[in-house]
Amino acid sequence: MTAGMGRPQRHVRMLAALTAAASWSVVLVGVAQPAAADTQAKQWHLGAMQTEDMWKVTTGEGIKVAVIDSGVNSSTPSLRGQVLKGVDATGAPGDETDDYDGHGTTMAELIAGTGQGGGLKGLAPGARIIPLRVGLGEFQEKYTKANDDIAHAIRAAADSDARIINMSFGGYGVSPLQHEAIKYAEGKGKLLFAGVGNEGHQQNERGYPAAYPEVIGVASADRDGKVSYYSQHAGTVDVASPGSDVPRWCDDSFRRYCDGDGGTSAATAIASGSAALIWSLHPDWTANQVLNVLFGTAARDWKDGTRSEYLGHGLIRPSMSVLRGKGDPGEPDVSPLTRKRTIASAEQTAPSATASPQPAKNGAEGERPAAAKDSRPSDGGRSGLALGVAAAAAVLGGIAYTVVRRRRAA
C-alpha cells in the first residue's frame, strides 16, 4: 500500500488512537481470562441490536466470513471449532492461525465467537471464519516478504467459500493490485467490508481499501448513537456500526481482554456479522440484495437514497430484516454501491421487486459525491436521528442509537 506521492507506507490497523488521550487508555481486566459477566456484559451492542431475539431465528449458520488481518488464533475458547483452513499471505514464520498481535482474533470473535470461556461473543456465532494473515504495522516492516500480500489475500478469499470478506485495516495509498483484487472478489459475488479509519479528528484522509467504490466503508458509533469522534468521514462512509467501547484481546499472549475502543475495526466486524445473519436467512440472495437490505433498513432521518457524510446510509440494524422482514432486496445484479451491473451467480436467482435507487459511493468513477444537503451535519457533526427513548425502542428495533453526531472525547 502506498501513500499519495508514491512513497511506501505501512498498513495501518484501524484501532482507535488509544495513546492520544487519557480517556481512551487501556484498562486491563485481570491476568486470567475474564468471566462472561466481565467481558460479555461490556459488549453493549449485543443487547442494543437484539441479538438474543435474532439468534432464535438465525445465528448465521451456513455463512463463511473471510477475515483478512493479523491472523486468527483458532484455540481461544470462543473460537474453538469456528475457524476453518485459511491462507498465510505474509511469507513470514508461522501460518494464518498465528496471530501476531490479537487484532485478527478479536475481529473473528466479534463476528462468530461462541462466547465460551468468557470470551467475546460474535454477532453471528453460527457462522465460520476463514483466516487470511497479512502483514500490518510493524510486522509488515519486519517480516512480510510478499509483494502486496493484501491483494493476494483478497484473491484467495474471493476463491474461497466465504461470502463475506472482512478487512478491519487500512492505509492512505492507492494500490492498483489491491483494487483489481477487490473487483475480482466483487465479480465472484462477495461482500467486502472495511473500516473507514480512526483519524477523523486529525488528517481525515480517504483510507483504503474502504475508499474503493466496490468496498463497503464502515464508520464507528457509540452506544448513544454518536459517531465516534475519531471515525473518518472523507466521502467513504457507507454505513455505521457499533465500534466504541468494545472489548478486545490485549496482545498476542491471549491471556486477557482489555477495555478501550474497538473503533472502526470492531464496527467493520459487527457489520460483517450483521450481513451474515441476513444472508443465512436468505442464502439464495446475491451480495447486492443483502447489501440493499442492510442499507434500506439502516436507521436514519434523512431521505432514502441519500448518504450522510458521517453515517452513509445510516446505523446498521439487521434486526429489522431478521425479526420484522423489512427491506427490499432489489435487483440481484445491480450494486447499491456503484449502481453498476455485476455478475450474479446462477444459483442466486431469487425474484425480487425493482430496487429503490441508491446513490453511488462518493468518489466512484464517473459519479459526483451524493451527499444531499439535508444529510450533511450542520452543527459540528449532528446528523439528525433525534429520537426519544420510546421512539428508539419502537423504530430502531432496540438499538440505543438516539442522537447521531461527531463529538470530542469525553
Alpha helices of 239-327 — where are they, by DSSP H? 263-281, 287-296, 318-322
- The β-bridge relationship of strands 169-170 and 12-13 is antiparallel
d(CA 394, CA 388): 10
| DSSP label at residue 118 | G
Strand, helix or coil for residue 185: helix
Catalytic residue among 45, 69, 70, 231: 69
| DSSP label at residue 398 | T
CB count in 10 Å sphere of residue 345: 13
Closest CA to 191 of 165, 225, 170, 153: 165
- Rounded to the nearest 5 degrees, what angle is found at the Cα of 27, between the Cα atoms of 22 and 29? 170
In sequence order, which residues have a C-beta less than 8 Å from that of residue 102 and are 6 or more positions away?
A: 70, 73, 248, 249, 250, 251, 252, 254
69 is catalytic: yes
What is the amino acid identity at position 139?
Answer: F
Catalytic residue among 103, 201, 233, 313: 103
Catalytic residue among 265, 272, 274, 308: 265
What is the amino acid identity at position 1?
Answer: M
160 is catalytic: no
Task: Check if the beta carbon of residue 264 is closer than 8 Å to that of residue 218.
Answer: yes
In angstroms, the Cα distances linking 178 to 3, 149, 257, 268, 389 are 14, 9, 32, 19, 43
Strand partners, 83: 129
In sequence order, which residues have a C-beta less than 8 Å from that of residue 383 and are 6 or more positions away?
A: 227, 302, 308, 309, 310, 311, 375, 377, 404, 405
Task: Check if the beta carbon of residue 239 is closer than 8 Å to that of residue 264.
Answer: no
Cell of 194: 472495511
152 is catalytic: no
| DSSP label at residue 240 | E
Strand, helix or coil for residue 96: coil
Active site residues: 69, 103, 265
